[in-house]
A = this chain, B = another copy of it.
Amino acid sequence: MPRQITAFSNPLVKSVRLLREKRHRREQGRFLAEGLRILTEALDAGCLPETIFYAVDSARHPLVVRLVAAVEQAGGEAIETSRDILHKLSGKDNPQTVLGVYAEFTLPLAALDRSTAPIWLVAQSLRDPGNLGTILRTGDAVGAGGLILIDDCVDPFSVEAVRASMGALFTQSIAAATWPEFVAWLRGGAGQLVGLSLDTDHDYQAPRYAAPTFLLVGNEAQGLPAEYAAECDLLVKMPMLGKADSLNAAVATAVMAYEVLNQRRRVPDPA
């Protein structure tokens, strides 16, 4: 049976609220995800929260009922609470109906099996949580195996990144590594490292990409460091016809990832 919490001073409320800060996520090894859509995507991907909070006025929503049953069956805890407490937990004026507390799941590179997917996304020193979450969402759509975070990337388990991923966080493997670790792992197996760069004349549609393709995107403001670019098997860029000299990092990653996907699929005839 769900228990009820109505007091702001409840120790669990206090501890969960701290998960909005990276330091506490690392200490607790947990993170927050909010919203029926994202928690349901997580469930469908086989990921259950350790604890689920839901608004008392949504207790009969079929998706809430399903989530609560699944959490309790797995030995987790379901907590019925007020919108005010959900507001306090999420920090949002208009809080979602449900909020889940999940265990973090960053992998070491050695745990990735590159043969399971033809595309892998690699981000270096990405700073914007919205970009990171959006790249996870794109990775899910193009059938990527996961996202490898190089150097000092923004936390993929931040509330903003989780939200922008729209649940794809739970379908994509996430690994973190330094650049030397990544290069050593990459060169220990098959794979083509393709860097997105503004310092090249190679059009992104010219090459035929080899699987597994590792798409490397650099920091939003700086792009890839020169020595990282030098390690790539290919550097490519999209045409840019306007006055601006670059694309948003998540957009560039998506345009590139769809090119790789498109080269490997048969386009259905027009109906």
Task: Mark each residue of chain A from 137 to 152: 1 if its CB lies under 8 Å from any CB of chain B, else 0.
Answer: 1111111000000000
A182 to B6 alpha-carbon distance, docked (Å): 50
Are B205 and A243 in contact (CB-based, < 8 A)?
no
CB distance from A218 to the nearest CB of B (A): 16
A111 contacts the other chain (CB 8 A): no
A270 to B200 alpha-carbon distance, docked (Å): 11
| Interface residue tally for chain A (C-beta within 8 Å) | 46
User: Within 8 Å CB of A207, what residues of B?
Assistant: 270
| Chain A interface (Cβ < 8 Å from any Cβ of B) | 41, 44-45, 130, 134, 137-143, 164, 166-168, 171, 201-203, 205-207, 238-244, 246-248, 250-251, 254-255, 258, 261-262, 265, 267-271
Task: List 20 interface pairs A-B (beta carbons < 8 Å), by A numbering.
Answer: A45-B243, A130-B130, A134-B250, A138-B247, A138-B251, A140-B240, A140-B244, A141-B238, A141-B240, A141-B242, A141-B244, A142-B242, A164-B248, A167-B243, A168-B244, A206-B268, A207-B270, A238-B258, A250-B250, A251-B254
Q: A138-B248, A206-B267 are in contact. List 16 more A-B contacts (CB 8 A).
A: A41-B244, A134-B248, A134-B251, A137-B244, A141-B240, A141-B242, A141-B247, A142-B241, A164-B248, A166-B244, A166-B248, A203-B268, A239-B261, A247-B254, A248-B254, A250-B251
